[in-house]
Amino acid sequence: MITIIPAIDIIDGKCVRLSRGEFDSQKIYDQNPLEVARRFEDAGITRLHLVDLDGARTKKVVNWKVLEKIAGGTELTIDFGGGIRSDEDLRIAFESGAAMITAGSIAVKKPQTVRNWLQRFGGEKIILGADVKDRKIAIHGWQEASDLELMSFLENYIQQGVQQTICTDVSKDGMLAGPAFELYREIKDTFLQLKVVASGGVSRIDDVERLNDEGIDAVIIGKAIYEGRIQLQELKGFLC
């Protein structure tokens, strides 16, 4: 059964969503991320994807107090990303309550650092963030493209101990136009042992059902929940 992971994206301590990662497209949905997280927990959800968008832009963890409040105020298992660029950022994230962190841009810019983290903490706690634009990895809050091809990037990190990837098709994120089904299926078929978390484009419950039917391990849902296109009660069939 696919794991449901709601997303909370943070700018200035508020719960927001972007379209295609563009900061000037931000829309504020709630002033209190803790209350949003509690609503998810009350619906039976156990996992949360928390993104520090200020951190992604400034290249250091910024909204760690939001993480601390949600971790202290709920029982949710939180994976945290955005701005994690150093051992100090990693320490702050774990000490503030993250169960896992997502290594995105740093996995491109400082691969040896991420290898060290994998050796120290294991693939259960270090998730590989693979943000994709035209099958190339995008970094720094999607503001910059790299020359790394997606499948080679994944293969390299699987060899280093990565067990789970959050893969986001940048062109679809926040657009409510459907996920990149074919891309996720290709990743899953190529790397059978890799847990694939689909992110971006989910717009209706049918998208979740199709991802589940195709064997995708987990799905991150953001704007579709906030815009009321997917009701939390619709997700109960996927919750253990």
Q: pLDDT per position in the chain (240 positions), as tens?
A: 999 999 999 999 998 877 655 666 668 887 899 999 999 999 999 999 999 999 988 999 999 999 999 999 999 999 999 999 999 999 999 999 999 999 988 999 999 999 999 999 999 999 999 999 888 898 755 556 678 999 999 999 999 999 999 999 887 665 667 899 999 999 999 999 999 999 989 999 999 999 999 999 999 999 899 999 999 999 999 986
CA distance 201 to 170: 9
Consecutive H or E run containing 147: strand 144-149
List pLDDT tens digits, range 83-118: 999 999 999 999 999 999 999 889 999 999 999 999
Task: Report all structural domains of the chain as residue ranges with CATH numbers, in order of start.
Answer: 3-238 (3.20.20.70)
pLDDT, residue 143, reads: 57
What per-residue confidence (pLDDT) applies to 171? 75
* pLDDT for the residue numbered 226: 92
Rounded-to-integer distance, Cα 110 and Cα 86, Å: 9
Burial of 57 from C-beta contacts in 10 A (0-12 / 13-18 / 19+)? middle
Q: Cβ(237)–Cβ(209) under 8 Å?
A: no
Between β-strands 136-139 and 195-199, what pairing exists: parallel, antiparallel or unpaired? unpaired
The reply to whether the predicted model has a pTM over 0.95 is: no
Instruction: Return the pLDDT at 233.
Output: 95
Residues labelled as active-site residues? 9, 131
At residue 169, the pLDDT reads 85
